[in-house]
Each structure stands twice: as C-alpha cells, then as structure tokens.
Amino acid sequence: MKLDFIIALIAFVSITLFIDVSYMRKISPSKSTKRKKKEAREIIEIRYLIISHNLKKEKLLNPKIILLISLIDALIITTVFLVIVLIPYSIIWQLMAGFVLLLGLIYSIYNILGMILYKKGYGEK
C-alpha cells in the first residue's frame, strides 16, 4: 500500500511535467516557416472552460492557468489510479469504477474551476 502511494506520487510529478511542457508548446508561437498563419492547436480543457463558463480565451492562455490545468489533470489521473489499485475486485469492476470516477472528477473539478475563474474576472462581461 505504501508502494502504491510512492508510485502515485512519482506519476503525479511526471504527468504534471509532461502535460505542462506539451501544453506550453501548444500555446507558444511556432518558429517554423512551414506553419505560417496556422492556428495554434487548441487545449481541450481551455476550450471546455470557454464554452461552458463564457470565459475569455486570451486570459486563459497564460502560464499560470496552463500549470493549474496540468496539476488538475495529473491529480485526476493519479486519484483514479490509486482508487483502481485499491479496489480488491476483478478487473471489470475496477475499469467500471475508474471510468465513472474519471468522468465525475473531470466534470466536477472543471466546473468548480470555471466558476472560480469567472468570479475572479476571467469571464466576458
């Protein structure tokens, strides 16, 4: 059990770093001449926040929000991993519980984040 928490902590840090680096590469301007005038690839989480809570895209594309989204994604992944590992039932029940927990955490945490960001002034008025 202690080993599972150590693995989850290592996974949390590595997933956070990986997601943060990949998202920062998505929002940084492309230096390649082949990709002129192409729109930057969108981050799905930011698009969800824009659509569901009517937030401004320009305010959400800063490094602090990107790091926050990376931390939230890593927290969701490691939480689901820990719950799955600790369930003593067969793999079918583990997968079903993991799927339900994953969707519930994504929906609830991003809904809370959207409401907080809207109250802090990231919304369109």
pLDDT tens digits, 29-68:
666 545 544 555 788 999 999 999 999 988 998 889 999 9
- Estimate the crossing angle of helix 44-53 against helix 63-86, to 10 degrees: 100
- The reported pTM is 0.81
Alpha carbons 87 and 90: distance in angstroms, whole number:
8
DSSP letter (8 states) at residue 89:
S
pLDDT at 37: 46
Phi, psi of 32 (to 5 degrees): -75, 140
Task: Say whether 39 sits in a helix, a strand or coil.
Answer: coil
Q: What is the pLDDT of residue 115?
A: 95
Task: Give the model confidence (pLDDT) of 68-79 as tens digits.
Answer: 999 999 999 999
